[in-house]
Structure 1
């Protein structure tokens, strides 16, 4: 009802404006109505485009199979042609497939491309967390730590602490790893994640 109420108020305002200012402003009113119609057309077009893009994303990602190069190529093409959230999600899905094929460089590239396609902070965090894990597998601990530093938000503290501990330990910084996991345990982490970090600390001796 709120939408209809606002539209009615806008129409009433146009009517009053026209009544008070006479026929001399007909052109202005027509242009205003034209702009409104144009905006609605554009909005409806955007909604339609989003639905088409969503359907295309579902199609290419549901067919993804690491053993079938053509499905990887199709998803990669979709990701490169869609500089939006769907493109970023496709890059995320592709990265998983490349990790399964142990093609870590390609997986990292997909995640980095995905980061360019979205402004959503939570999706960026997920992409960066995956990227940091891959960088660890690539023996690039310093790169992983830099990637973790870009992630903002209290909801990611525990996961960041877990990966940071792994990165620091791989560099031989046992105390740094202990401090990172301790911070993770003290955060609002899930019981399972806290237990896992506690076990890692215990293994340090």
Structure 2
């Protein structure tokens, strides 16, 4: 079941940005908080912490790639130990992806909702929220999925959101609403290639 599509590139871009700029963001937030020596100590400790978190995150991804859902407890331990970092959020989304592929949708939904609540990155939050709605849809939680979609305000995902709304409405038997949603999605810059086929099916 393919619940992850091109917005995976968004997550990768955010992950790469965080690796390159995460330390600078933390440093910038604390400028002026202490004297020179205190600042140097804080700077060195934060750099070490970020480097350690980055290295451990890399190991997490490698473990998931090698072991799949069998590594879920190891990954959960990493998430729990680093819950105040964005690396834990990214690890949760990666674990959710593996769980989805293994058909463990309830577990995946739990991971995604945790990640949704613990990221302070607006773009990443929107991507995660879209994934939450997808899993809710697959679980038959249609009204919850529609409510989740209503919370996504990121304009870069307009087409994806509208298309998924159409999918949910189709499953609910609302073909008119689905057609409207698909038409809206087709006009967005991020429209998928499958939209026309969905519209054609509705027109039959």
The TM-score range, normalised by the shorter chain, is 0.7 to 0.9
2:60 corresponds in structure 1 to 60
Which fold has the larger relative contact order, with Cα–Cα distance below 8 Å and residues 6 or more apart in sequence? 2
TM-score by length of 1: 0.77
- Work out whether residues 157 and 187 of structure 1, in 8 Å CA contact, stay in contact via their aligned partners in 2: yes
Determine which structure has the larger helix proportion and give its number. 1
Structure 2 unaligned regions, length at least 5: 1-31
Aligned pairs (5 A) from 1:56-135: 56-64=56-64, 65-66=67-68, 69=70, 71-82=71-82, 83-135=84-136
Q: Deviations over 1:144-170 (max 9, x none)?
A: 111111212210101101111001111
Q: Deviations over 1:97-135 (max 9, x none)?
A: 111221110000000111122110111112111111111
Structure 1: which 4+ aligned runs deviate by more than 6 Å? none
Mapped to 1, the partners of 2:136 and 2:81 lie a distance apart of: 26
Q: Deviations over 1:33-55 (max 9, x none)?
A: x7232123212211221110011
Question: Which of structures 1 and 2 has the bigger CA Rg?
Answer: 1
Mapped to 2, the partners of 1:175 and 1:97 lie a distance apart of: 35
TM-score by length of 2: 0.78
Structure 1 unaligned regions, length at least 5: 1-31
The size of the alignment, in residue pairs, is: 169
- Work out whether residues 66 and 100 of structure 1, in 8 Å CA contact, stay in contact via their aligned partners in 2: no
How far the C-alpha of 1:177 sits from its partner, in A, is: 0.7
- RMSD after superposition: 1.8
Mapped to 2, the partners of 1:184 and 1:44 lie a distance apart of: 48
Mapped to 1, the partners of 2:93 and 2:162 lie a distance apart of: 22
Mapped to 2, the partners of 1:36 and 1:132 lie a distance apart of: 48
